[in-house]
Structure 1
Amino acid sequence: MIRLVHAKRSTLLMLLTIVFFVLLASGCGESSNGSPSSASASASVAAASAPDASPADAEGGNKKPRVAFVYLGVAGDGGWTYQHDAGVKYMEQELGIKADIVENVPDTADSERVFTELAQNHDIIFGTSYGYMDAMYNVAQKYPDVIFMHCSGYKTLPNMGTYLGREWESSYLVGMAAGKMTKTGHLGYVGAFPIPEVIYTINAFALGAQSVNPDAKVDVVWSNTWFDPTIERQAADSLLDKGVDVLAAYQDSPASLQAAAERGAFGVGNDSDMGKYAPDHYISNNVWNWGPYYAKVVRSVMEGTWKSEAYMGDMKDGLVNLAPLGAKVPQDVKDLVEKTKAGILDGSVQVFKGPIYDQSGKLRAENGATMTLEQILAQDWLAKGVNGTVS
């Protein structure tokens, strides 16, 4: 699905006609699993790249750039993409810009085609999945006059920047609450993929739990999905079968949270406030607030001040936040979390401050030493008390 903007009426009608026949020929444009077929995706990208979609002049003489966003899933996922889409809407309202959006683009080699087609007629392109990194990097080298922004990756170019946030801060707080809520000290975590972004989040969750419950253990399984409720529920059930009474997850769906609730366990969501999915069994989760950052980046392009950077936001600047703690979380636990959050905001509390050992007993941070940002982002190990592998 794509939102068409600034298109002339005749061009729009022609494009809609083309899309109609493409969809008709491809069986309504969906494959058997419900995701767009390659034919409909091609039509969507072509529509977004229509040459008539010219920018209008903004106040002060700055031109409004032609902006595109590429989503791994759909805004209705209730998690990761939902929050990005909310951020896009914020940016559009703040700057008076309508962005083109391409949904359901798998983070496979085919995404390179999508970015290439968008680069024909856009000034700035945002890719919102880690798996887009190499594809964006390759296309950015071929189109040096187009700005590319990649979420959660580490490769940059003069015309390609990266952005993410210190979600380990909020994950540590959720871990503290989980450590207080567990009755058995046996927690579970359904990881998405064994990449640093997920690994350091799991480690922060475990360290938070152990800060209030030193004997707490966290069992980890990997779903190798970002959004597949069926697989994620199966992974969740495998941990619940082991007796975990608090279950966290790092996917875009609330499947694990719902599975926990059905088994009488407490659950932790991800990306967006997921309390509505299991209000009586919900603890909290990390929440992203992309809007102000998206507005800042696009405004810098309008003003001609944009520069490539590896941006890492945090709770202090508001990119990362904590969803409201669930109704069943006791007040003393809420007070403890709020006190620790205040310490994170003023810098007196550091999540990855030693001594920190990995699961093999190797010292990863000396007593009193705080891990550098580079060390945190390179984590390929699980903390002491976490049971699982990173492969």
Structure 2
Amino acid sequence: MKRRSFLTSTTLAAAALGLGLPAMAQEPLKVGFIYVGPVGDMGWSYQHDQGRKAIEEAYGDKVVTSYVESVPEGPDAERVLTQMALEGNKLIFATSFGFMDSVMNVAAKFPDVKFEHATGYKRADNVATYDARFYEGRAVQGTIAGRMTKSNKIGYIGSFPIPEVVQGINSAFIHARKVNPAVEMKVVWAYTWFDPAKEADAAAALIAEGVDVVLQHTDSTAPQAKAKEAGIYSFGQASDMEAFAPAPRISSIIDNWAPYYVERVGLMLDGKWASSATWGGIGAGEVQIGEISEAVPAEVKAEAEALRDAIAKGDYHPFTGPLNKQDGSVWLAEGEVADDATLSGLNFYVEGITAELPK
């Protein structure tokens, strides 16, 4: 810089301070989001985007947010994450399990950028992880499903056979069987997070097997549409999916990411962000149970809400023994509770599920 320019700049700055004029405004924090599905899926990505909007509402012009939707897990994710970092985003949320290795690769190249990965387990100094205890909500859904089925057959659409999904299948089945010992569970794997055609086919396959209640761990409303055609019940996934109220959607799991996102951005703005691992559930407000519709009898609704409240207070854990593995061997003794390390790597079905778990 030329000496004259330097003197002019410093003189103006000093004059501004002397006159009590505001100093140059701080640049807003740029926050990026990467979604595996479209924001209009009315499920998983939609709920994450509600969290992004909550950041904007909370911090106004202190932040600038952006997102890229429908990014496949794999090389595309690494490209998008790299571009986000190059565009000046200092905090990036990657919102699908399969983005994990891409996050780690890009984070190593941009140590001054903070990354947060949803549902994963790999961390670094500039990589945090966050998850929700969806299995708690599945316990409530399983209770309702076990009471509502007339065929004693309930169905579950799985996305990928990872611990998060296996937790949900087991939890739903355990609690359905607690209230209905005759219940069976059929499982179909869609091998996708969001593909309405595949999800509809999975629902159709379950319906063909005689199930009259469908649960899902995929993101579109296609299973609800199939359930409506067949005149059977279903549950909303990730958001309330209220377009299907009051039937076939008899309740929902709602992923409430907004408080977490607002908190983490606040830490960035305050210079206090640090790598961490967060796993919240019903008690923390990250998992919510949507409206239990009028199609559910009052006594079943009360039973489900009592279970929800017990979980929220920490009075009950959905994985409390006695529980056996699918092969009949003991998993949890009477009163024993599964620890987080076990649940984070859960790779087996509980006793009573006859489906084969893909490896």
Give your verdict on TM over 0.5. yes
What amino acid maps onto 1:126 in structure 2? F
What amino acid maps onto 2:37 in structure 1? G
Equivalent residue of 2:249, what SS? coil
Q: For 2:195, which of 225, 228, 247 is the aligned residue?
A: 228
Shift of 1:283: 1.9
Equivalent residue of 1:83, what SS? helix
Which residue does 1:173 correspond to in 2? 140
**Matches of 1:71 and 1:232, distance apart in 2:** 19
Counterparts of 1:235-384 in structure 2, within 5 Å, are: 235-277=202-244, 279-384=246-351
Equivalent residue of 2:120, what SS? coil
What amino acid maps onto 1:305 in structure 2? K
What amino acid maps onto 1:155 in structure 2? K
Q: For 1:68, which of 29, 32, 36 is the aligned residue?
A: 32
Which residue does 1:105 correspond to in 2? 71
8 A Cα contact 2:245 2:293, kept in partner? no
Query: What residue ranges of structure 2 are gaps of 5+ in the alignment?
Result: 1-23
8 A Cα contact 1:172 1:207, kept in partner? yes
Q: For 1:83, which of 47, 61, 70 is the aligned residue?
A: 47
Report whether the alignment pairs 1:194 with 2:161: yes
- TM-score computed with the length of structure 2 as normaliser: 0.90
After superposition, the C-alpha distances for 1:280-315 in whole angstroms (9 at most, x for unaligned) are 222212111111110100110111111101110111
Report whether the alignment pairs 1:94 with 2:58: yes
Q: Which moved more, 1:148-157 or 1:361-370?
A: 361-370
Equivalent residue of 2:54, what SS? helix
**Matches of 2:261 and 2:28, distance apart in 1:** 14
Equivalent residue of 2:64, what SS? coil
Query: What residue ranges of structure 1 are gaps of 5+ in the alignment?
Result: 1-54, 58-62
After superposition, the C-alpha distances for 1:239-290 in whole angstroms (9 at most, x for unaligned) are 1111111111111101112212211211122100024225322221211111
**Matches of 2:336 and 2:310, distance apart in 1:** 17
Which residue does 2:16 correspond to in 1? none
8 A Cα contact 1:220 1:387, kept in partner? no
Equivalent residue of 1:150, what SS? strand
What amino acid maps onto 1:312 in structure 2? W
What RMSD over aligned residues (CA atoms) do the two structures have, in Å? 1.4
When residues 239 and 300 of structure 1 are mapped into structure 2, their CA distance, relative to the original with a 3 A threshold, is same
What amino acid maps onto 1:68 in structure 2? G
What amino acid maps onto 1:66 in structure 2? K
Tell me the matched-pair count.
332
Counterparts of 1:47-66 in structure 2, within 5 Å, are: 57=26, 64-66=28-30
**Matches of 2:82 and 2:164, distance apart in 1:** 26
Rg: which structure is higher? Answer: 2
**Matches of 2:177 and 2:242, distance apart in 1:** 24
Which residue does 2:100 correspond to in 1? 133
Q: Percent of aligned pairs with the same residue?
A: 39
**Matches of 1:141 and 1:211, distance apart in 2:** 47
